[in-house]
Structures are given as structure tokens and as C-alpha cells.
Amino acid sequence: MKSFTAILASAAIGLTLLSGAACAQTSAADKYPDHPIKLVVGYTPGGGNDVAARLLAKELASILHGNIVVENRPGAGTNIGAAFVARSAPDGYTLSLSSTALAVNKTLYKKLDYDAVKDFDPVAIFAEAPNLLLINPKLPVKSVSEFIAYAKKHPGKLNFSSAGSGSTQHLSGELFKKLTGIEATHVPYKGSAPALTAVISGEADFSFINIPSSKQLIESGQIRALAITAAKRFPAVPNIPTMAEQGVKGMEVGTWYSIVAPAGTPQPIIEKLNKAINKAMEEPELKQRFVDLGMAPMAESPAFFKKYLAEEIERWRTIVEESHASVD
């Protein structure tokens, strides 16, 4: 049996080691970043996620006095980019621009090369963007109620486009069908741009796509917006009523934008990044840029984002299971 003195000595050594590790982490955070940070985006250039990443990266680099390189690694519904970041060194130099897909894919895919909860440390959620119900302007309807009535008069004849099977656009469409009782066929495309083009051309009758991707098309009259899937009207499109205003409850869906790091990233670096991201999103010029694009800026803690992600995983799990959506 160890003597009391030996036990005290062991405890002192343990505390010294812990203190040393904490000091080392703090020192690393003080020097961070001392070389370029890679921000991985699991989408092709030009979409809402890519735009959000590049806007944030520019301001964040200025605040951190470093260099941030945005790297697009699209494919498999963002899973290629997510898996790459999950396997990267947990040192704060490889980050992921993650969106709602991080929560959706946990249920949508039966097999993943990463775990959305275990393999990432939440850093910050910095913006969100609801979807819009968009229709071909040649359809003889001007409101959601008229559209539902039209769809019910033509059962099985309408189709809706999305950025791909399992995307938030796809699941928004499935949820809309469930809530309203209409029939419509899902037609997946490779991205929001071709999905929008399909609605404009009449190849698809409607779609649920976010404001950044569609705002200019709405303003030019190439596409008609009937409703927004937010709890209240949005500053970027104040004249577009919510789904709830038009009698469809439970359609508050869209995309959120966040930063995650590989699990095990030192907490002082997580905190430093979070503070820098929140500061960036409070900069008036950047904040207004996000608002103009149709995104609502956010500034929250890693703890808030961790809880939010867990809630989103469960919410989308229900939607995926009830819609029987699958990509496997």
C-alpha cells in the first residue's frame, strides 16, 4: 500500500503534468495561427455555402492576422469534405464549413466515414438562411393556398427539383407534400443552379431553394416566390410572406452555416476561433453583406452550437425517416 506521502507526491506530479499541458495549449493558442488555415467547403464554388465561406474567411483572416485558404472538396452530399476534415490533425489548421447537411446526413446515409458528433468539435454557427417556395411564373397561382389547390386539381402531374437526393431542398419538398397532402414527383439535380434552371424552363414546377441562390432570379421575374420557410419575414425579401402566414404550419426549414474542427482540437484554439468568428459577424459591413444575400448573421458559443447540432440531428432524423428519403 502506498504511503500518504507517496500518494501526495503522485498527485502533485499529476497536477504538474496537467498544468504543463494546459500551459502548452494556451501557448499554442497565443501563437495561432502561425501558418495558413485550410477551410474546407463540401460544395462546388459559387453556391451559398461557398459564398458564406469566402466572405467569412476574408474577415476572419484580418482578425486573426493570418491566411485562410478556402478549398472546395465537393461530392457525396458534402461527405467527402467532411471525412477529409474529420481525419485531419486536430490543430486548428484544417476546418470545415459545415451546413445543415452535417445533421441530415447522419440519418440519410446508412454508412459514413465519420460521425457528425464524435469526430468534430463545434466551433461556431454564424448564419442561417431559410428556403423559399419557388415556382415557374407561368403557373396560374399567386399564393400558397392557390398553389395547393392547383396541385390537388392535377394530382401526380407536378414535379419539384432539388440540389440532389437528401438535400434540404429535397426534404423541404417532401415535408411540404406531407403537410399539405399534395402529390408531386421529386427530380434531383446536381446543385441548386440546375435545379433553379429547371423551374425557370418549366422542366420542374416548383422547388425549395434558399435566398442567396435565388434572389436575383426573383427580382428579374424569372422565377416566382410564394413563401419563405422561416418563423417570420426576412429582411432581404420583406414582401414574401411566411408559410405559416399562409396556413402551412411546421415548415420552418432551411440552411445554417457553421465551422467545425477535428475532434480533439485544443480548447483554447476553439475559443479563439469562436471569438474571432463572432467578432467578424458583428462587423457592420460583413453583417450587412450577409443580410443582403438573405442570410441571418449569428454569434453564438461552441456550447450553444453543440446543443443546436444535437437538436438538428434529431429534427432532421424525423423528416428523413417520415419521407423515406435515402441515397444508399
**Number of domains making up the chain:** 2
User: Which grid cell is 247?
Assistant: 396556413
3-state helix, strand, coil in the chain (%, to 5): 50, 20, 35
Q: Is residue 211 situated within a structural domain?
A: yes
* Same domain, yes or no: 93 and 193: no
Nearest to 259 by CA among 309, 324, 200, 208: 309
- What is the C-alpha to C-alpha distance for residues 289 and 295, in angstroms, rounded to an integer? 9
Among 198, 216, 246, give the residue marking a domain's end: 246
Report the pLDDT value the prediction gives residue 39, as an integer from 0 to 100: 98
* Same domain, yes or no: 36 and 55: yes
Residue-wise pLDDT for 250-266, tens only, equals 999 888 999 999 999 99
Q: For the chain, how big is the Rg over CA atoms in Å? A: 22
Q: What is the DSSP string of 188-204?
A: E-SSHHHHHHHHHHTSS
Whole-model pTM over 0.85: no
Question: CA angle at residue 253 from 113 to 324, to 5 degrees?
Answer: 55
| Tens of each residue's pLDDT in the chain, 328 residues | 556 566 666 666 666 665 565 555 566 688 999 999 999 999 888 878 899 999 999 999 999 999 999 999 998 889 999 999 999 999 999 999 999 999 999 999 989 999 999 999 999 999 998 999 999 999 999 999 999 999 999 998 999 999 888 888 999 999 999 999 999 999 998 888 899 999 999 999 999 998 878 888 999 999 999 999 999 998 889 999 999 999 999 999 888 999 999 999 999 999 999 999 999 999 999 999 999 888 999 999 999 999 999 999 999 998 888 877 777 6
* Same domain, yes or no: 135 and 123: no
* Same domain, yes or no: 65 and 109: yes
Q: Is residue 143 situated within a structural domain?
A: yes
Nearest to 67 by CA among 43, 36, 39, 42: 36
Report the pLDDT value the prediction gives residue 324, as an integer from 0 to 100: 77
Domain containing 306 equals: 32-129+255-323
* Same domain, yes or no: 211 and 268: no
Q: Is residue 179 situated within a structural domain?
A: yes
Q: Is residue 54 situated within a structural domain?
A: yes
Q: Is residue 272 situated within a structural domain?
A: yes
* Same domain, yes or no: 38 and 107: yes
* Same domain, yes or no: 140 and 236: yes
* Same domain, yes or no: 152 and 59: no
* Same domain, yes or no: 152 and 187: yes
171 neighbors 325 (Cβ within 8 angstroms): yes
Question: CA angle at residue 148 from 143 to 152, to 5 degrees?
Answer: 150
Nearest to 277 by CA among 254, 293, 300: 300
The torsion defined by the Cα of 148, 150, 151 and 157, in degrees rounded to 10, comes to: -170
Among 246, 270, 293, give the residue marking a domain's end: 246
Q: Is residue 27 situated within a structural domain?
A: no
CATH of the domain at 275: 3.40.190.150
171 neighbors 126 (Cβ within 8 angstroms): no
Among 186, 212, 246, give the residue marking a domain's end: 246
- What is the C-alpha to C-alpha distance for residues 191 and 287, in angstroms, rounded to an integer? 26
- What is the C-alpha to C-alpha distance for residues 208 and 210, in angstroms, rounded to an integer? 7
* Same domain, yes or no: 94 and 167: no
Note the helical H segments in 208-266.
211-219
Report the pLDDT value the prediction gives residue 65, as an integer from 0 to 100: 95
* Same domain, yes or no: 227 and 264: no
* Same domain, yes or no: 61 and 208: no
Q: Is residue 262 situated within a structural domain?
A: yes
Q: Is residue 219 situated within a structural domain?
A: yes
CATH of the domain at 231: 3.40.190.10
